[in-house]
Amino acid sequence: MFNKLKQINDLRTQSKQMKAMLDEVIIVGQGMGGKVMITVNGSHETLGVQIDETLDRSKIAQGVKEALTDANSKLQGELMKKMKEMGGLDAFKNLGL
């Protein structure tokens, strides 16, 4: 029983460390040729949105969609790299939960 509690505590500690690591990953997605930029972190939190004032209002929605798609694509690649650096899914096999 105490072994399971230790494993749960270790999992919480690893979870906090992973959250901190993810928060350090910063990605900028671009749309409409860079006229719309959305900045996100590895925890998928939106940190900022920039829209060029010269962009036609009718194009803003499309630009935001493109920027989010770009950010998500870049973020997925970056998170895959981080996961490999941490040992991939094999790193979680020893948790025993």
The answer on pLDDT for 73 being more than 50 is yes
Q: What are phi and psi of 86, to 5 degrees?
A: -85, 0
pLDDT tens readout for residues 24-55: 999 999 999 999 999 999 988 999 999 999 99
Residue 72 lies in a domain: yes
Q: How far apart are CA 36 and CA 52, in angstroms?
A: 6
Residue 17 lies in a domain: no
Q: How far apart are CA 27 and CA 78, in angstroms?
A: 9
The predicted model scores a pTM of 0.73
The answer to whether the beta carbons of residues 76 and 40 sit under 8 Å apart is no
Residue 76 lies in a domain: yes
Note the pLDDT of residue 97: 47
**Domain region containing 43:** 24-86
Residue 15 lies in a domain: no
Domain with 64 in it: what CATH number? 3.30.1310.10
pLDDT tens readout for residues 7-23: 888 888 888 888 888 88
Q: Which two tokens stand for residue 8?
A: 């749960």
Residue 66 lies in a domain: yes
Fill in the DSSP letter of residue 7: H
- Total domains in the fold of the chain: 1
